[in-house]
Amino acid sequence: MSTGIVVRAIASRALVAACGLAMPLAHAQDVRDPALAAALEAKQEAEVDRLATARLEADPADTDAWSALVRVARGTSDATTKAALRKRIEACVAAHPRVAACQFGVGVLAFQDSGTMGLAMRGGRIRESLGKAIELDPTLFPARAALVQFHLDAGRLAGGSIDKAREIAAAAA
């Protein structure tokens, strides 16, 4: 690994941490429903799915339900579960394009699954979805953290920019 890559990785982690945007710490405000939050904390994927599905039957644009499903999709190691949740989240964006949690889900899952070549191919979609999530809900800090991280991880050819990362992070302050 070249020195430049190591320095860039250290700098990117430092910028994200300095801005208080570290992703694991950013989950506190994304699910407010106590039952969903408890099921997420206990890593009970089936219970999260049951509770979220019930909430979505009552309100198909329920932010807590979608946020919980995005968290399960991000954390699961089961490819079948992740694929099924990705499909539901993409359907949410199609049906409810103004639900920030769904925009975040599409962007963060694409980012999470992208290697170096994937960033080059999916960079526009990642930036667009995460940017839309922030536009819809400026307090959705996991989306802001993911967009900052995208700009730090993606090279210029994939649409990344250290200056843009700083700008997005500074807007959170």
**Where do the domains of the chain lie?**
3-171
Structure tokens at 137: 């809900």
**pLDDT, tens only, 28-59:** 457 999 999 999 999 999 999 999 999 999 99
118: exposed, middle or buried (Cβ count in 10 Å: 0-12, 13-18, 19+):
middle
User: In angstroms, rounded to a whole number, what is the distance separating the alpha carbons of residues 13 and 152?
Assistant: 9
Short-list 155, 65, 145, CA closest to 112? 145
Q: Using an 8 Å Cβ cutoff, are 92 and 69 in contact?
A: no
Percentage, residues of the chain above pLDDT 90: 63
Is pLDDT larger for residue 75 or for residue 172?
Answer: 75
Confidence of residue 79 (pLDDT cuts 50, 70, 90): very high
Helix (H) or strand (E) holding 140: none
Q: Which position has the token pair 């506190």?
A: 28
User: For residue 1, what pLDDT is reported?
Assistant: 43
Under a CB-based contact definition with an 8 Å cutoff, are residues 134 and 124 in contact? Answer: no
Task: Round to the nearest angstrom and report the end-to-end CA distance of the chain.
Answer: 34
Q: How many CB atoms lie within 10 A of CB 161?
A: 15
Quote the pLDDT of residue 5: 46
Q: What is the pLDDT of residues 100-146, one digit of tens each?
A: 999 999 999 999 888 767 777 788 899 999 999 999 999 888 999 99
CATH no. of 3-171: 1.25.40
Q: CA-to-CA distance for 173 and 37, rounded, in angstroms?
A: 26
Between residues 34 and 18, which one has the greater pLDDT?
A: 34
Task: Please classify residue 89 by burial: count the beta carbons closer than 10 Å to its beta carbon, then call 0-12 exposed, 13-18 middle and 19+ buried.
Answer: buried
CA–CA separation, 40 vs 130, rounded Å? 22
The mean-pLDDT minimum among 4-8, 68-72, 77-81 falls in 4-8
Neighbours of 120 (CB within 10 A): 15
With bands split at pLDDT 50, 70 and 90, how would you rate the model's confidence at 25? very low
Whether 110 and 122 have beta carbons less than 8 Å apart is answered as yes
